[in-house]
Structure 1
Amino acid sequence: MGPPEISYIELPPSVLRKPLEYPGLPQEVLVTSGANSCLTKAVLDLLQTYTAANATVLEVGSTSDAGMEELLQGKDVVLHVGLPKADATSEELNRFLQQTEALLHAASSAKVKSFVFASVASVVFTGSDLRAAGADLPPASPCIDAHTAALSAAEQRVAAFNGRGGALATAVVRHHNLYGAGDADLLPALAQHAREARMQVVGGGDNVVDFSYAGNVAHAHLLAARALAAGGSDAAALAGCAVVATDAEPVPYRQFVGGVLEGLGYGSKAATSVPYAVAFSLALFFHAVAFMFGSVVALRPRLTLGRLKSLTRFQYYSGAAAHELLGYHPPWSRAEALQITLQSADARALRNPAARVRPVGPFSAAEVARHRTADDAWIIVDGKVYAVTPYLEQHPGGDAILNNAGADSSAGFHGPQHPAQAAEVLQEFYVGDLLQEPLRKDMQGGAAEARGAEQRCGTCAPPDPSISSYINEYWGRRCPNAGLQTVQQRSNRLVFAGGEWGTV
């Protein structure tokens, strides 16, 4: 039996970039970043891709109260999406609450018009099944865990500041089981459990739950900011209230977990389970130990009674309020969102080290061009694509392949330095064909000029094989760039705690 495989499918532009618009979104936006940067990354991505807004990033806790107020001068909206991690300590959660209140005071003093806060839908979860639960349910008391309790308390502070000074309008957008690029909670925990062969699912795992892709949740936050800025009846109904934004595709917990683990190369069957009675007994034991010795030794059991309820109960929520007040529909389906997430750099670091990536072609030249590093090298030879990363250490020419990684290596491959059996060796790394893309009419002139440049390059005498550096050149010819046109690109300004990151 061979190593586990991860199927890699090139994502089309229609999946990566949706036709989104945010007319009326305020120009000056402050975005917070915290220990879990998943939602912050998604918000910044949407702002930079679809808007002309100037985004300022504030690391929560990095600025004094006075500095915070100064940073907020001239800002139109605050998107407080920098959240603590799910396993944050009591000290970290208390600090987050204090920083949230300081941010609210600073926003009010600076005459910021809108404040949108990211929270979790489980602030209303009491431990019983929730089916299509609305955001108008009262907050649970007590909450299911300390993390949820901190966000619930922060929500109350945000609501209390609505209308403060006659200017600030606040709203809360809740998600459930957040995932995406930069996720510091859900996917890392599942991958760690799979590596350690620890419990993933309690009981049958048939409880239906909501999941929330960060891109969808970020979209809802921008819609909320726009709605508050627009005023009118929808803004009045939204101000001081909460809405829920998820993928709107509730799914059995085991099914989602299995899909994630398969996509990370652990296999769907890596989602091991234990009977509910066994898990309950363990959670009760840990609870008793923490109760008796918690004042003497800092104990943080991984399995708690609250965690057990979260793993086994139905939890899916109604997005009716978000749809009615914001016009929210998830831009990305759950299948699309998982594909994007599992191909992100963060998720690649969580993959099963023993798994082999099996791309599924055909691949466009643009996709091949993204694989040009020592950790991820593809080449094109005679219209076929090869993932040669595993061969780099065995290659007699060392890392010379990287000179043309992500591009066409046909000319160099057929050079005199390669024996006849080189083609047979290369076949082991074949992953698919190159997509034959028609040449656009507006590019034909440039292509002709490029061919001329290639011919001119081809007339040059090759380097003397005796020169030691020749081995580093034979995988591809280096020709002058030709037929390239200047691309007009709007710049967005990113500022971090008052210091510019430059344009992107």
Structure 2
Amino acid sequence: MEMTFNSILMEIVFVLVAVVLLAAVAIKWSSDNLLQARINKFQSSSSTSASVKSFEYKWLAGKRVLVTGGNGFLGSHVVEGLIRIGCTVRLLDLGKSTDVKGVTFVQCDLRDKDQVLKAVEKVDVVFHCATPSPFSTNKKLLMDVNVEGTRNLLDACEQNKIDRFVFISSSGVAYEPVDQVNLDENASTPTAFRDYYCHTKFLAEELVMKRNSQGLRTTAIRPCGMFGPREVYYMPELLAAAKAGSMKYQVGSGSNMTDMTYVGNVVHGLFLAAEQLIPASKTCGQAYFITNDSPLLLWDTVGDILMTMGYNPPSIAVPVALCSLASSLGLTSLSPSKLLQLSQNHSYSCAKAKRDFGYAPLYSVAEGLSLTLPSYSSSRGPHTFGHAKPAYLEREYRKYTRAEVAKHCTEQDAWIIVKGKVFDISEYVEDHPGGLSILNDVGGDATVGFYGPQHPPTVAEHILEYLIGEVED
């Protein structure tokens, strides 16, 4: 009996070892092929460039607008978009003040009813972008700001007779840990929310929908996989992992689809929805997914981003089951829920937004990335993969003393300092709309003039291609 048991045990061990060895060989074979395939695809593609696009918003242009969370990622882009169409903007935030023409800053805590009531006076529409971090684990903060803060805003709008309210929700309110393909707004409520952030966003969205009335017309927008300049979570985390050499692996086969939505398209969707908040409109009391309307292969897109930024793409496809085993044994920092997000299909339909308020993305994903990646140029890697690097990646990025910068003070050799960053604007001087006034602070600190009322807020994005380093204090 003992011999039989030992024999069976040895056979099991032998099978397990064989499986591990075969898996290792298969992973090695697939990694070589995957890496070369991704590099070949990237080399055969063409680089894309884009600029800020305009659109005519007939009702919204020139209105008085309140933007909560206006210093944040999405909020700051909403503010910039409103300024471009001539709106008078009241920026409500807990953070620092801003000094931009056409913007009035109000420091306000959404949890304080009196502060909120005063902040909402005499505006035509509210864009409610404010929220704690989506990674916050502080349940009280999430409930107090996302739910009770939204309630305070709605109360203040009713008391001040503001009749249009646009709430920024999240696609996470519909997320479930299963394949979700082209999910629409009719999907049932998740049996369990991914985290407390998504739960409180759902509760706030419900509140906004219930408060819709003839006197206060409301809608909720659910951005899906939003990216763009000044995004501070996902893109920086991805590039930091690549820089640390931690992006060699992909979870699963890489066939899963996802949505990536450029922030400019989200702003466009918000503005179109606000335009349609008129009595008896289909938009009133409804929630909408906003996407780029072009689901992507998640891991191919990650690979393209990394190669654009000079890093090797993921080249080792690890089976989901093996990743799950490693996670359960504590061999990886990826949680089981994160592994599911990285290996499942999650895409959403924006057909309802198209139908009800004429939404269509202004920017492709490639155009959005061409406007986004320059803002992360300090995180670049060492490779080119056959593509010529953009100018902002070709230049050496290092620290300069103010004395070094001061030597570059002519029309043909012009450097400036803006907020501690050094820019070589020599190529731009002759194209500057303001002529040679751009040379007023050449060789020195141009921060004050750069952020003067003559410049739109978006100028900060366009100058990034001339970034060469930072000041050494």
Band the TM-score falls in, shorter-chain normalisation: 0.5 to 0.7
Higher relative contact order (CA 8 A, sep 6+): 1
Aligned amino acid, residue 53 of structure 2: K
Q: Does the aligned pair in 2 maintain the 1:40–1:81 contact within 8 Å?
A: yes
User: Which residue number in structure 2 is paired with residue 225 of structure 1?
Assistant: 274
Q: Aligned pair in 2 of structure 1 residues 80, 255: CA closer, same or farther (>3 Å)?
A: same
User: Which residue number in structure 2 is paired with residue 351 of structure 1?
Assistant: 380
1:81-480 correspondence runs (5 A)? 81-91=129-139, 92-97=141-146, 98-163=148-213, 166-198=214-246, 201-228=250-277, 230-232=278-280, 235=281, 237-269=282-314, 273-284=317-328, 303-344=334-375, 347-352=376-381, 359-360=389-390, 387=395, 398-404=404-410, 407-409=411-413
Is 1:46 the counterpart of 2:81 in the alignment? Answer: yes
Deviation per CA, 1:278-337: give whole Å up to 9, x if none. 322244456xxxxxxxxxxxxxx9533322222111111111111111111110111000
> In structure 1, what is the Cα distance between the partners aligned to 2:190 and 2:455?
46
Aligned amino acid, residue 377 of structure 2: R
Q: Does the aligned pair in 1 maintain the 2:48–2:366 contact within 8 Å?
A: no
> In structure 1, what is the Cα distance between the partners aligned to 2:164 and 2:51?
29
User: Which residue number in structure 1 is paired with residue 67 of structure 2?
Assistant: 31
Aligned amino acid, residue 21 of structure 1: E
> In structure 2, what is the Cα distance between the partners aligned to 1:198 and 1:150?
32
Deviation per CA, 1:449-470: give whole Å up to 9, x if none. x9xxxxxxxxxxxxxxxxxxxx
Deviation per CA, 1:137-179: give whole Å up to 9, x if none. 122121122222221122111112111xx41111111111111
Q: Does the aligned pair in 2 maintain the 1:136–1:242 contact within 8 Å?
A: no
The count of residues paired between Structure 1 and Structure 2 equals 367
Q: Aligned pair in 2 of structure 1 residues 302, 158: CA closer, same or farther (>3 Å)?
A: farther
Aligned amino acid, residue 188 of structure 2: P
Q: Aligned pair in 2 of structure 1 residues 303, 490: CA closer, same or farther (>3 Å)?
A: closer
Name the SS for the 1:403 alignment partner: coil
Q: Does the aligned pair in 2 maintain the 1:85–1:184 contact within 8 Å?
A: no
CA RMSD of aligned residues (A): 3.9
User: Which residue number in structure 1 is paired with residue 55 of structure 2?
Assistant: 20
TM-score of the superposed pair, with normalisation by structure 2: 0.68
Q: Aligned pair in 2 of structure 1 residues 111, 434: CA closer, same or farther (>3 Å)?
A: closer
Q: Report the alpha carbon displacement of residue 187 of structure 1 after superposing the two structures with TM.
A: 0.4
Q: Aligned pair in 2 of structure 1 residues 105, 133: CA closer, same or farther (>3 Å)?
A: same
Is 1:79 the counterpart of 2:127 in the alignment? Answer: yes
Name the SS for the 1:29 alignment partner: strand
Q: Report the alpha carbon displacement of residue 390 of structure 1 after superposing the two structures with TM.
A: 6.0
Deviation larger for 333-342 or 75-84: 75-84
Q: Report the alpha carbon displacement of residue 106 of structure 1 after superposing the two structures with TM.
A: 1.7
Q: Does the aligned pair in 2 maintain the 1:198–1:272 contact within 8 Å?
A: no
Aligned amino acid, residue 321 of structure 2: A
Aligned amino acid, residue 358 of structure 2: G
Deviation per CA, 1:336-367: give whole Å up to 9, x if none. 000100012xx234434x67996557xxxxxx
Aligned amino acid, residue 20 of structure 1: F
Aligned amino acid, residue 280 of structure 1: S
> In structure 2, what is the Cα distance between the partners aligned to 1:401 and 1:201?
47
User: Which residue number in structure 2 is paired with residue 62 of structure 1?
Assistant: 109
Deviation per CA, 1:257-287: give whole Å up to 9, x if none. 1122223332324x7653311322244456x
Give the fraction of aligned pairs with identical amino acids, expressed as a percent. 25
Deviation per CA, 1:160-209: give whole Å up to 9, x if none. 2111xx41111111111111112122102212222333366311222011
Name the SS for the 1:343 alignment partner: helix
Q: Does the aligned pair in 2 maintain the 1:178–1:186 contact within 8 Å?
A: no
Structure 1: state its 5+ residue gaps: 1-6, 287-300, 362-370, 377-385, 411-430, 451-472, 476-487, 493-504
Q: Report the alpha carbon displacement of residue 124 of structure 1 after superposing the two structures with TM.
A: 1.7
Q: Aligned pair in 2 of structure 1 residues 302, 227: CA closer, same or farther (>3 Å)?
A: farther
Q: Aligned pair in 2 of structure 1 residues 340, 114: CA closer, same or farther (>3 Å)?
A: same
Structure 2: state its 5+ residue gaps: 1-42, 95-107, 415-423, 437-441, 444-452, 458-473
Q: Aligned pair in 2 of structure 1 residues 118, 349: CA closer, same or farther (>3 Å)?
A: farther
> In structure 1, what is the Cα distance between the partners aligned to 2:328 and 2:306?
28
Higher radius of gyration, 1 or 2: 1
> In structure 2, what is the Cα distance between the partners aligned to 1:243 and 1:112?
22
Q: Does the aligned pair in 1 maintain the 2:307–2:383 contact within 8 Å?
A: no
